[in-house]
Structure 1
């Protein structure tokens, strides 16, 4: 638990650790050209914790990069939208499953050093 980073990806903030995988909404439309096992790097890092030291960006850290790789695309849970008109006695139920990308975090770099290794 001593080494993690908080990144801004796809409009959400995620707490990521090296060696773990995460699911986010599809943040780029050309996934077919990327494919699986494609390396990605994210520079919108808000916070890095390495042991007892914490570095906070304002709004982002200047020399911080989180590197990872795309595992595969997947679907999220089904979102159900219900519309009920009580006076007309009609019901309409629609739903969809959101496209997601599962990616794994390989390393966290800050100021040219690998923050995931002590």
Structure 2
């Protein structure tokens, strides 16, 4: 696509495009996500590309925003950890599942207006 942004969300940097969804780790501002279609604005935007024009922030762009919504909370795949001590005849099985949030990008704003395809 001609337009995308690189944002810092959940301790990771993601390349996001409008109309796509991403599963990100749940973090402090998103602790109370219980209802559906919760609106979210992300101001930690590192880079925006619109056609052949690229804007890079140091460390973030001050006038850029990525707006989206959270349709529902979700979970990652379950990681199973097994510990077996053969001589002692003991087995231990523990599972871990990460709390994730599905984030849908609706629009990318730069300089107060939505950046459209060039």
- Return the TM-score normalized by structure 2: 0.87
Aligned to 1:60: 60
Aligned to 2:26: 26
Q: Which has the higher strand share?
A: 1
Query: For the residues of structure 1 that align with 2:54 and 2:111, how far apart are their CA atoms?
Result: 13
The secondary structure found in structure 2 opposite 1:83 is strand
What runs of 5+ residues in structure 1 fail to find an aligned partner? Answer: none
Q: 1:91 to 1:65 in 2, by over 3 A?
A: same
TM-aligned CA deviation for residue 31 of structure 1: 1.4
Q: 1:113 to 1:94 in 2, by over 3 A?
A: same
Q: 1:88 to 1:19 in 2, by over 3 A?
A: same
Conserved in 2, the CA contact under 8 Å of 1:107 and 1:116?
no
Aligned to 1:92: 92
Aligned to 1:12: 12
Conserved in 1, the CA contact under 8 Å of 2:74 and 2:100?
yes
What runs of 5+ residues in structure 2 fail to find an aligned partner? Answer: none
Q: How many residues align?
A: 116
Instruction: Tell me the alpha carbon deviations over residues 82-111 of structure 1, each in whole angstroms, 9 at most, x when there is no partner.
Output: 334566564433112111111211100111
- Two-structure CA RMSD over aligned residues (Å): 1.7
Conserved in 2, the CA contact under 8 Å of 1:109 and 1:116?
no
